[in-house]
Amino acid sequence: MAQRLSVSYQKKPCYDIVFSQSFAELWEELKGLGADGRRLCIVTDSRVDELYGDAVLKLLEGNCLKTAKYVFPAGEEHKTLDTVKGVYTYLIEEGFDRKDMLIALGGGVVGDLTGYVAATYLRGIDFVQIPTTLLSQVDSSIGGKTGVDFDGYKNMVGAFKMPRLVYMNLSVLSTLEDRQFFSGFAEVMKSALIKDAAFYEWLIENMYEICERDAAVLEEMVRRCCGIKKLVVEKDPTEQGDRALLNLGHTIGHAIEKAKNFELYHGECVALGTVAAAYISWKKELLSMEEYYEIRDMFVPFYLPISVDGIEPEEILRLTKSDKKMSAGNIRFILLKKIGKAFIDTTVTDEEILAAIKEIQFSDEDAHA
Ligand code: GLY
């Protein structure tokens, strides 16, 4: 029997997160949402389609009014309004109406983009998330943030749209390439750092099993992250306050992602951004020096970068300011009071940000260390 977690929106139960080791229970879950009387369109990318597209399509075929599948090329560079337009056109051609349903099968790009189509097509239709990467399972598939990048700026256009179901087949984690898996781990670290010191300790204790992708340990890890995310998004669904804590590492992280032209993975940039935020927290005497180095070095066994070459600190600062995490002209920086306790700070100065960027800038000394 699959485990589940119910997520509320505006204080009412809204959708379940189902944790399974296969796709076996997917149809029963969809049927419970009335999928048998509707048209279903899987939206996925070329990489995920090769792995799971047909398997998921077969589970649906013959069970509902009509099944369809829209596949777009994999990669962050396709998280655009042009791809959204392609999905709209396909849905119109296939006769999808407001009672039908979209199935987002894939990682963060697929989930965010499909959710945005679901939020806007015919002023909103239902959608289900089937996250297939660690990053999307522990973070992006939960909480209803949807959107696309615009002009290279991350998630500049979007909407809040709650899914009807988040179905996780945790066995997919075993097929992820290492870089993708560890990129997702950066969001796991983030969850622990902002809210749960005991979980942070658990991650240290289970470091070997996580790297070896022990199925039971990964299941517990994903469930604990989802539990943290559930509490945060239930309290503040539209990021008026505490939800911003989930952006730890993202302000400088997004700037690096853009400056490096998306050559680094999102989680790799989040790791760099988190090191920078922890550095600022140390310099502001919130964290001790030992805590700063401990946080920084925790990324290393998970193959995540703690320094980066080929960046211009001034350019990263400029891009940081054009990220959307601003409040009345001030950057809403997420800092750490201690491991497991984050807060929003709007007083971080340009000098402090520049010093933090220089701290994570790869230098020849690092090369010879
Ligand atoms: N990924 C951050 C959030 O859902 O708010």
What pLDDT, on a 0 to 100 scale, did the predictor assign at position 7? Answer: 98
Report the nearest atom of ligand 1 relative to the CA of 246: 2
Is 139 a pocket residue for ligand 1 (Cβ < 6 Å)?
yes
Residue 85, amino acid: K
What pLDDT, on a 0 to 100 scale, did the predictor assign at position 45? Answer: 98
DSSP state for residue 137 in the 8-state scheme:
I
* Arithmetic mean of pLDDT, 18-30: 97
Is 254 a pocket residue for ligand 1 (Cβ < 6 Å)?
no
* Arithmetic mean of pLDDT, 258-282: 96
pLDDT at 1 over 80: no
Percent of the chain with pLDDT over 90: 92
pLDDT at 153 over 90: no
Alpha-carbon span 82 to 130, nearest angstrom = 23
Residue 367: pLDDT band with limits 50, 70, 90: low
* Arithmetic mean of pLDDT, 52-80: 96
**Residue 169, strand partner residues:** 20
- CA-CA-CA-CA dihedral for 69, 74, 75, 79, to nearest 10: -20
Residue 356: pLDDT band with limits 50, 70, 90: very high
* Arithmetic mean of pLDDT, 235-247: 95
Residue 148: pLDDT band with limits 50, 70, 90: very high
Q: Is 208 exposed, middle or buried (0-12, 13-18, 19+ CB in 10 A)?
A: exposed
What's the 341 CA to ligand 1 centre distance in angstroms?
A: 17
Residue 368: pLDDT band with limits 50, 70, 90: low
Three-state DSSP class for 43?
strand
Whether the CB-CB separation of 144 and 161 falls below 8 Å is answered with yes
Is 154 a pocket residue for ligand 1 (Cβ < 6 Å)?
no
Mean pLDDT of the chain: 95
pLDDT at 111 over 70: yes
What pLDDT, on a 0 to 100 scale, did the predictor assign at position 2? Answer: 85
Strand-pair category, 3-9 with 12-20: antiparallel
**Residue 157, strand partner residues:** 148
Alpha-carbon span 112 to 104, nearest angstrom = 9
Is 145 a pocket residue for ligand 1 (Cβ < 6 Å)?
yes
What's the 145 CA to ligand 1 centre distance in angstroms?
A: 7
Q: Give the lowest-confidence range in 81-85, 208-212, 331-335.
A: 331-335
Report the nearest atom of ligand 1 relative to the CA of 229: 4
What's the 300 CA to ligand 1 centre distance in angstroms?
A: 24
pLDDT at 327 over 80: no
Mutate to test the pocket of ligand 1, among 145, 160, 230, 245 (most ligand atoms within 8 A of CB): 145
Whether the CB-CB separation of 41 and 103 falls below 8 Å is answered with yes
Mutate to test the pocket of ligand 1, among 191, 243, 266 (most ligand atoms within 8 A of CB): 243
> For atom 3 of ligand 1, which residue has the closest CA?
246
What pLDDT, on a 0 to 100 scale, did the predictor assign at position 51? Answer: 96
Alpha-carbon span 247 to 262, nearest angstrom = 18
DSSP state for residue 237 in the 8-state scheme:
T
Whether the CB-CB separation of 146 and 189 falls below 8 Å is answered with no
Residue 325: pLDDT band with limits 50, 70, 90: low
Is 229 a pocket residue for ligand 1 (Cβ < 6 Å)?
no
- Which one is predicted more confidently, 326 or 344? 344
* Helix boundaries (H) for the chain: 26-31, 46-48, 54-60, 81-93, 108-120, 134-135, 178-195, 197-205, 207-211, 215-235, 250-259, 266-283, 289-298, 313-322, 350-360, 364-368
What is the C-alpha end-to-end distance of the chain, expressed in Å?
51
* Arithmetic mean of pLDDT, 104-108: 98
pLDDT at 285 over 90: yes
Residue 254: pLDDT band with limits 50, 70, 90: very high
- HEC states along 292-331? HHHHHHHCHHHCCCCCECCCCHHHHHHHHHHCCCEECCEE
Q: How far is CA 317 from CA 253, 292, 307, 350, in A?
A: 11, 21, 16, 7
Q: Which secondary-structure segment (H or E) carries 259? A: helix 250-259
Three-state DSSP class for 207?
helix
What pLDDT, on a 0 to 100 scale, did the predictor assign at position 329? Answer: 65
* Arithmetic mean of pLDDT, 44-59: 97
What's the 240 CA to ligand 1 centre distance in angstroms?
A: 12
* Arithmetic mean of pLDDT, 140-146: 98
What pLDDT, on a 0 to 100 scale, did the predictor assign at position 79? Answer: 96
